[in-house]
Amino acid sequence: MTARWLFILLIVALAIPGAAAQTLQTEIRCDFPGELIEAGDTAVFDLSITNRGNTGTCLLNHWTYRGTDDWKIRFVDGDRDVYRMLIAAGETKPVRLLVETSGHAAVGEYRIRVGIGDGIIWVYVRVTKTHSGEVGTLEATVVDKEGNVVRGADVGVYDGDLRIEGMLTTAEGKV
């Protein structure tokens, strides 16, 4: 009697829509999975995703490891950020992965694991030059709400709450 009930439950479970797992078999391809950039630049990876299973929606995921905490990594389609994509059975669709590095990223190679559906690929960013510790020059023009220059404005440089440097703007509103 127990085997009969198990058989009936199995038939009922298969008859309910959505009870069976979605079979989405994705393959990810990237013709150039390694990019050389300077710290502060953006690496661009054009990915092609092929669905060898049934039509379905895929999550777009990425995982990073050391030294990428302040990087901005995102998937885009044209000019919009995306995190899921619908792929019909047998269809291939493109999606772009942007990896915006920080200016103080250390020289070296960074691995990024990309997962779309059940497909996985590794892409690599090699930072060839860092800008950490570089001295920079900041030029600013102070203007009011109407866009008119402000003469004699007090401009301060702070490290947290501590004022490090202060100066007044010129007659042209420049610092």
Residue 124 sits in the same domain as residue 164: no
Which tokens hold the place of 101?
């590095």
pLDDT of residue 75: 99
Q: Give the domain extent around 162.
A: 137-175
Residue 87 sits in the same domain as residue 124: yes
CATH, residue 101:
2.60.40.10
pLDDT of residue 20: 42
113-150 confidence digits (pLDDT tens): 999 999 999 999 999 999 887 777 778 888 888 888 88
Residue 66 sits in the same domain as residue 141: no
Residue 79 sits in the same domain as residue 117: yes
Residue 79 sits in the same domain as residue 101: yes
From first to last of its 175 residues, the chain has per-residue pLDDT tens of 566 655 555 555 555 444 344 567 999 999 999 999 999 999 999 999 999 999 999 999 999 988 898 999 999 999 999 999 999 999 999 999 999 999 999 999 999 999 999 999 999 999 999 988 777 777 888 888 888 888 888 888 888 888 888 888 888 878 7
pLDDT of residue 3: 61
Q: Is residue 124 part of a domain?
A: yes
Residue 125 sits in the same domain as residue 146: no
Residue 78 sits in the same domain as residue 150: no
Q: Is residue 76 part of a domain?
A: yes
Q: How many domains does the chain have?
A: 2
Cα–Cα distance, 163 to 160 (Å, whole number)? 8
Residue 80 sits in the same domain as residue 30: yes
Residue 82 sits in the same domain as residue 148: no
Cα–Cα distance, 119 to 2 (Å, whole number)? 40
On whether the CB atoms of residues 40 and 102 are closer than 8 A, the answer is yes
Residue 120 sits in the same domain as residue 69: yes
